[in-house]
Amino acid sequence: LCFLSLARCTVALFYRGFPIPVVSIVKMKLALAALFAGTAAAFAPQEAGRPATSLNIGTPGANWGATLGPSPQASNIGDQQRILGQTRRTFQFPDINQELVEVDMTSDGRPMYADIQLWIGPDWTPMTMKTYSYDGYKRPLKCIIGTRNKQATIEVKNTGSYELPITCTAAYAKPPFSDLRNDLPNKVEGAYVEGGGAVHSVTFDPTVEQAQILLKTDLRQLNAKVEVLNAPNNYKQTFEIFTNNGVLNSLYVVVDTPQASNTVRVRNIAPLEFPFRAYISEV
C-alpha cells in the first residue's frame, strides 16, 4: 500500500509540472517489481521437497490414518481398519461352512464407543451390540459373533466423536479362541437370570488378568447389559446386546481386568418371559 501511494504521488507531481529525477523513477520501479514478485511467491505451489505444515493423516482407504502410528495392540486375525469417529466399516463373510467370527477393537488409550451389527440378507439385522470402554488400550474388546452359517456382513460403527478413532479387525475365529464359547458351559455353572431387570454379579481376585463372559438363552431372545466395574458403580466397560436368538447369537466376550477389585455385573433388560444363563469365569 505504501508503494502504491508513492506511485500515485509521483504521477500527480508529473502531471502538475514538477520535475522528477530519473533515479527516483528507477528506484520506484524496482520497488514495485520486488513487491509484486513477493506477492506472487506467496500464492505459488509448494515445492515437492518442502515439508507441509498441516497434519498429514493420509488419504481415505485401508491405510487411512496410518501416519499417526500403528495400533498399540495390533491383532493378527486379519487386516486392521482404522475407524474415525462417526464413520463405519463393514466386513464380508461369505463362507457358509464357517459360523464363528472374531471381532477385536482397540484404541491408543482414548475411550471407545461403537455399535456392532450383524447383517444377513438385504434387510435383516438379527443381532446388535453397543459397546463402550473408557480406555481402549488397557481394556480392548474381543468377542465372538455367530453368522448362523449364512453369508453375512458385520458392520462396526464408531459412535464417538471425530477425535476418538478406533482400530478394528474381524475374521473367522480360529482355535483355541473359537472353542472357548462352547467349552465354558462345561467348566462353570451358569447363573439363571430372570427377565425384568434381574442382576447377577461376580467379583474377581486382583491376580486375574482376563475374564470371559457368556450369555445364552434357550432359543428365545436375549436382551442384556454387561458392566465391568472397578469400584461401586464405576463402570470401565459396558456391552448391551439384543438378538432374537440367544443360542445362535449368544454373547461371548473376553475383557481385560488390569486393575484390582474388578466386578462383572449382568442385567437382564428383557421382559420377564425371557430369562438367560450367565457363565462368567477367568480365562
Q: Which amino acid is at 52?
A: A
Tell me: the pLDDT tens digits for 82-125?
999 999 999 999 999 999 999 999 999 999 999 999 999 989 99
Q: Cα dist. 269→63, 210, 236, 263, 265 in Å?
A: 39, 25, 20, 19, 13
Task: Write the burial class of residue 256 (CB in 10 Å: 0-12 exposed, 13-18 middle, 19+ buried).
Answer: buried
Cell, residue 62: 485401508
Long-range contacts of 54-60 (CB under 8 A, 24+ apart): none
3-state secondary structure of 28: helix
Residues 136, 252: Cα–Cα separation, whole Å:
18
Model pLDDT, residue 276: 97
pTM: 0.72
pLDDT digits (tens, 9 = 90+) for 186-234: 999 999 999 999 999 999 999 999 999 999 999 999 999 999 999 888 9
Does residue 67 surpass a pLDDT of 50? no
